A and B are shown apart, each in its own frame.
Chain A
């Protein structure tokens, strides 16, 4: 085996040959000590050119090759494949770009010749120092774990399990389904939400490849593509999930009533309960923080009532460790809490005064909500006018959540399906409700509102007079008022009627409303934030999980192998959530194929144990969290699965301990010296 280099010069028809005398260059390069042969061809990338290339190398003892031709962006992979065909290592081939960087941009032929020679000689010197890199493959887990069982998690699990792959869904609450289960009709097309969700949950139930763990918390999560480990705490349910048939007998018998968080405090639930009717798994769960039996009291009501002997108070929290190749994070988001802002009168008496957040209001439209689906005031009467104040918290959050307008218009429409005298006014600044379906929704709200006439009785007049001058009484309301500054809209309340103050075109107005709905923005959930911290995921300015690339890789997180689905990335409507869920599942499926190993990149960095002093500078600059300090050995270890080969750590290392494969200091030094020569 010779260490000399075989050189191929491509004429690229006349693209190169017209400016550079290939015969002369060939003759000159042949004289170089390191060169075994120089062969030129009319068009090396063409089929006959590739045959020529392979023929020259086949059965030869040449292992290192330079191709002086076009840009490697065009044909590096072509000649790398040729190298493979003839049993040579593809990393021992280097291209000199003498077309884009030389003949196409240089005016004088003499100059082009000199530059082509320098570039080719630099490639020869460089390839002499190339290493025979190996394309490594490692074993990997192909199972997928979906964290968060809302609609995004459910849809990604269904798709990811489609080819028989094992998927586990981890859900904090006792049931799958998430926020969509709280709605009755889903905007923009006002489709029945439970009718959409229930069949999807049934599919999960029927799917033997999907394992569901509800009522659990994630204690630890770490790893990288192909190899994650998740420690899950399964909270004791105190109910045998296999025995329970969801018959409600225990719920009826339970003497403890507490405020329902699912209904945002607008109803009560029992200490043993189901999250909502038709939940999945359809199994009761004991809230051990309020149950008499688990808080030291004496009660056995549920145990006695259960016809299935399913109550099991011997249960304790269990830890389970899961291993998987990819994680889909679909832990959702939370709503901004308007209690922080005094301008909306959203205080302890807010409910009493019929001031709601739109999440609360959504429960009033739900058939299994606190009012059985009737939009009525706390006193049971139908509202005459409902004022929706949009963009609550937008200024504090610093961004438009993007999905609340549509949901609020949908709720406004749902609110008018009951009493014929109810009208709805939306106070908005920018309306984010686009597309065909969004536009149709706006038309429907407007049309419905036009049929209403506002009753101006004494109650309204009283509120109006209380507001003082500049108060407008709307008798035929437009359904939407575009205000000057949405952040200055305020709500005051008196005797069950609220007044909303706003200004339009510099003039102040106010109207009376007997129900006020605060359309709150979306903020990162605590669960999402905690998981992002554990996985060291990059966050957006608002604190949501950031996409690896907002346009090109919108469902990939900053850590390879962790995908993002739904509003963990920021406010999303249902269809957007499902699109991202399916994109996530697709990402996991295509990266990890059962029976196949995981191919690793060859051009990665590695740290030398002897030279490394564990100063952590590489850890700080690595954009992929690939560099980590091994505390036992007190050195930096660069994870070759996570490393993307940028080489930033190499330039940062003060001890010269890190090397970038294929871009070593020696290789670059050799190239720099020669490229400047001549």
Chain B
């Protein structure tokens, strides 16, 4: 399988802690998984996701707190609503739906973190590197 980059947004309270726990448990995952921390998954603007694809991500994963467990009460629900709107938009840019996912990982779920990123990475790797057509990039940046 091809070497790909999976940009993974993690929230400060749950999924970042899940990633730390995966580290503590030495759960291996591909080095192409790259994390960016935000305070809450609710901060993840669709623009940031598109920016990720434009800057070289072959897949984007957003990991928030489980529904009902958001540190900020409802930020993850806002994220969920927003991502539902983003998904059909990605297709218009020629980005396959398997290249994007919103999921939940708690701070105590190191193993789940490993499972979610490995599965997502394998999905994206199976699709291979993302080839954004110039026009798609231009259209988006215009």
Size category of the A interface is 35 or more
Within 8 Å of chain B (Cβ to Cβ): is A371?
A: no
Chain B residues with CB under 8 Å of A97's CB are: 20, 35
Contact A672 B51 (CB under 8 A): yes
Chain A residues with CB under 8 Å of B75's CB are: 623, 646-648
Chain A residues with CB under 8 Å of B104's CB are: none
A-B contact pairs, 25 of them (CB 8 A): A73-B16, A73-B20, A97-B20, A101-B19, A101-B35, A104-B23, A105-B26, A106-B29, A106-B30, A112-B31, A538-B73, A621-B42, A621-B74, A623-B72, A624-B72, A647-B40, A648-B72, A648-B75, A665-B45, A668-B36, A668-B38, A675-B34, A675-B36, A676-B55, A677-B55
Chain B residues with CB under 8 Å of A603's CB are: 39
Within 8 Å of chain B (Cβ to Cβ): is A118?
A: yes
Chain A residues with CB under 8 Å of B20's CB are: 71, 73, 97, 100
Give A328-387 interface residues, CB cut-off 8 Å to B: none
Alpha-carbon distance A501/B135, docked complex (angstroms): 77
Q: Which residue of A lies closest to B107 (CB)?
A: A73
State which of A71, A73, A621, A676 has its C-beta within 8 Å of the C-beta of B34.
A676
Contact A648 B56 (CB under 8 A): no
Contact A660 B23 (CB under 8 A): no
Given contacts A101-B35, A672-B7, A673-B55, contact A648 B78 (CB under 8 A): yes
Chain A residues with CB under 8 Å of B36's CB are: 668, 671-672, 675
A394 to nearest B CB, angstroms? 24
Contact B45 A644 (CB under 8 A): no
A367 to nearest B CB, angstroms? 47
Contact A676 B42 (CB under 8 A): no
Contact B27 A105 (CB under 8 A): yes
Within 8 Å of chain A (Cβ to Cβ): is B44?
A: yes
Within 8 Å of chain A (Cβ to Cβ): is B82?
A: yes
Chain B residues with CB under 8 Å of A522's CB are: none
Within 8 Å of chain B (Cβ to Cβ): is A642?
A: no
Given contacts A73-B16, A644-B72, A676-B57, contact A663 B43 (CB under 8 A): yes
B114 to nearest A CB, angstroms? 8
Within 8 Å of chain A (Cβ to Cβ): is B52?
A: yes
Give A69-108 interface residues, CB cut-off 8 Å to B: 71, 73, 97, 99-102, 104-108
Chain B residues with CB under 8 Å of A558's CB are: 73
Within 8 Å of chain A (Cβ to Cβ): is B5?
A: yes
Chain B residues with CB under 8 Å of A663's CB are: 38-39, 43
Q: A646-B39, A672-B52, A677-B56 are in contact. List 9 more A-B contacts (CB 8 A).
A: A73-B20, A100-B20, A105-B23, A106-B29, A621-B78, A623-B73, A650-B43, A652-B82, A665-B48
State which of B29, B43, B51 has its C-beta within 8 Å of the C-beta of A648.
B43
Residues of B in contact with A (beta carbons under 8 Å apart):
5, 7, 16-17, 19-20, 22-24, 26-31, 34-36, 38-40, 42-48, 51-52, 55-57, 70-75, 78-79, 82, 114
Contact B43 A647 (CB under 8 A): yes
Given contacts A115-B31, A677-B56, contact A646 B72 (CB under 8 A): yes
Alpha-carbon distance A430/B68, docked complex (angstroms): 27
Contact A651 B52 (CB under 8 A): no
Contact B43 A102 (CB under 8 A): no
Given contacts A663-B39, A663-B43, contact A107 B73 (CB under 8 A): no
Give A113-161 interface residues, CB cut-off 8 Å to B: 114-115, 118-119
B54 to nearest A CB, angstroms? 9
Contact A665 B47 (CB under 8 A): yes
Contact A650 B31 (CB under 8 A): no
A674 to nearest B CB, angstroms? 9
Q: Which residue of A lies closest to B38 (CB)?
A: A663
Closest 5 CB pairs of A and B: A100-B23, A647-B43, A648-B42, A111-B31, A646-B72
B58 to nearest A CB, angstroms? 9
Judged by DSSP, the binding face of B is mixed
Within 8 Å of chain B (Cβ to Cβ): is A630?
A: no
Chain A residues with CB under 8 Å of B31's CB are: 102, 106, 108, 111-112, 114-115
Contact B24 A104 (CB under 8 A): yes
* Contact mask for chain A residues 480-516; partner B; CB cutoff 8 A; 1 contact, 0 none: 0000000000000000000000000000000000000
Alpha-carbon distance A442/B56, docked complex (angstroms): 68
Q: Which residue of A lies closest to B52 (CB)?
A: A672
Give A636-678 interface residues, CB cut-off 8 Å to B: 644-648, 650-652, 660, 663, 665, 668-669, 671-673, 675-677
B65 to nearest A CB, angstroms? 11
Alpha-carbon distance A669/B55, docked complex (angstroms): 9
A583 to nearest B CB, angstroms? 20
Contact B44 A651 (CB under 8 A): yes
Given contacts A73-B20, A104-B26, contact A647 B39 (CB under 8 A): yes
Chain A residues with CB under 8 Å of B30's CB are: 106, 111
Given contacts A71-B23, A101-B19, A646-B75, contact A676 B39 (CB under 8 A): no
Chain A residues with CB under 8 Å of B42's CB are: 621, 646-648, 651
State which of A73, A101, A647 has its C-beta within 8 Å of the C-beta of B38.
A647
Contact A675 B28 (CB under 8 A): no
Alpha-carbon distance A677/B7, docked complex (angstroms): 11
Chain B residues with CB under 8 Å of A650's CB are: 43, 45
A616 to nearest B CB, angstroms? 15
State which of A101, A646, A673 has its C-beta within 8 Å of the C-beta of B40.
A646
Identify which of A648, A652, A668 gathers the most chain B CB atoms within 10 Å of its CB: A648
Q: Which residue of B lies closest to A546 (CB)?
A: B73
Contact B17 A73 (CB under 8 A): yes
State which of A99, A101, A111, A645 has its C-beta within 8 Å of the C-beta of B39.
A645
Contact B5 A676 (CB under 8 A): yes
Alpha-carbon distance A672/B37, docked complex (angstroms): 10
Chain B residues with CB under 8 Å of A647's CB are: 38-40, 42-43, 75
Contact A669 B51 (CB under 8 A): yes
Contact B74 A623 (CB under 8 A): yes
Chain A residues with CB under 8 Å of B44's CB are: 651
Contact A107 B28 (CB under 8 A): yes
Q: Which residue of A lies closest to B69 (CB)?
A: A549
Contact B39 A675 (CB under 8 A): no
Alpha-carbon distance A652/B44, docked complex (angstroms): 9
Identify which of B19, B40, B52, B79 gathers the most chain A CB atoms within 10 Å of its CB: B40
Alpha-carbon distance A63/B84, docked complex (angstroms): 42
